[in-house]
Amino acid sequence: MKAIGKIVILAIVIGAIVISLAIMGTIQVSTEGFDEEGYFVDSVGRKVKVPEHPERIISLAPSITETLYAIQVQDRVVGVTDYCNYPKAVVSKTRVGGFSSPNLNVIISLEPDLVIGEYYDAQMVETLENNGITIVILIAHSMDEIVNNIRLMGQLVDAESQANELADTMQYRIDKVVFTVMQLTEEEKKKCYFEVWETPIVAGGESFINDMIEKAGGINIFGNINEEFPTVSHEAVINGNPDVIFITAMGRKSYTVNVKEREGYDVINAVINDQIYVCDDDVFTRAGPRSVLALEIMAEYLYPELF
């Protein structure tokens, strides 16, 4: 009886979260990828005829590779990018180059019946299509789109059950974070920014990382820039006076000057209070299944007292 009681309580809590978030407009209804004529409409508006059960799939992005493994269709993956390193088993797959500059000859030689990418290059798409290869582009600019793209990928590769289960779990974890930080007032929310390179290049308003920051209860001081990853001035960082600074682990290793030691940064709250956090690039900058882990880590960095 105790176990049943716990299940009932959990169901009530989940229901409260879902209802609250739906009212606030946080939850977005997933859109179908296939139109009435049976064509898949991808992120750039292309209508693509996709095989019902692709047997030879190529991934052109680490996030896509991670998703394909997470929805258990790795046996049908025949090619991945040079940057695909998770899970570890992916090391056995044939490499097809970078995600923005793949080796088209290698791709064609693998005779795929479906290629999935997250970077749109019209010439690359045209070349592959002229060689009879089906390619679909899936791009995410928010956490909601990441979850929805996972559902769409399930449709694409005929693994809807696994994809929906993964997406549902991710959505639940996202909702838990959002519900927790809902108690914060605007005055209590911390200003921050996410730096991907020391120039500094930062996450702007068009990036899913900006949405991640907002869902974690933060205020991105560069969220008003309508670009994915704009380059900003050090003066802009200083004037923005963030309470928290996020930097990538890979970038940090290559920085010429430590963030704390940059000229003029000694007046920034994040520097004064030692609130600079190094983030795993692969977890934080990939629009895939682990993005929800990044959200949870970010929220805990921002508001440890709530998590």
pLDDT band at 251 (very low <50, low <70, confident <90, very high): low
pLDDT band at 99 (very low <50, low <70, confident <90, very high): confident
Per-residue pLDDT at 3 exceeds 90: no
Mean pLDDT of 123-147: 97
Any idea what DSSP says for residue 32?
P
Per-residue pLDDT at 20 exceeds 50: no
Domains of the chain: 40-170 (3.40.50.1980), 185-306 (3.40.50.1980)
Any idea what DSSP says for residue 129?
H
Where do the DSSP E strands lie in 98-225?
114-117, 135-137, 191-197, 201-202, 219-220
Mean pLDDT of 9-37: 50
Per-residue pLDDT at 73 exceeds 70: yes
pLDDT band at 33 (very low <50, low <70, confident <90, very high): confident
Per-residue pLDDT at 161 exceeds 70: yes
Q: What is the pTM of this model?
A: 0.88
Any idea what DSSP says for residue 54?
-
Cα atoms found within 13 Å of the Cα of residue 179, Cβ hemisphere only: 18
How much is the pLDDT for 90?
98
Per-residue pLDDT at 89 exceeds 60: yes
Any idea what DSSP says for residue 31?
P
Choose among 123, 136, 129: nearest CA to 59.
136
Query: 34 pairs with which residues across the strands?
Result: 40
Per-residue pLDDT at 32 exceeds 80: no
pLDDT band at 49 (very low <50, low <70, confident <90, very high): very high
Burial class (CB in 10 A: 0-12, 13-18, 19+), 25: exposed
Any idea what DSSP says for residue 237?
H
Per-residue pLDDT at 2 exceeds 60: no
Q: What is the pLDDT of residues 107-122, one digit of tens each?
A: 999 999 999 999 999 9
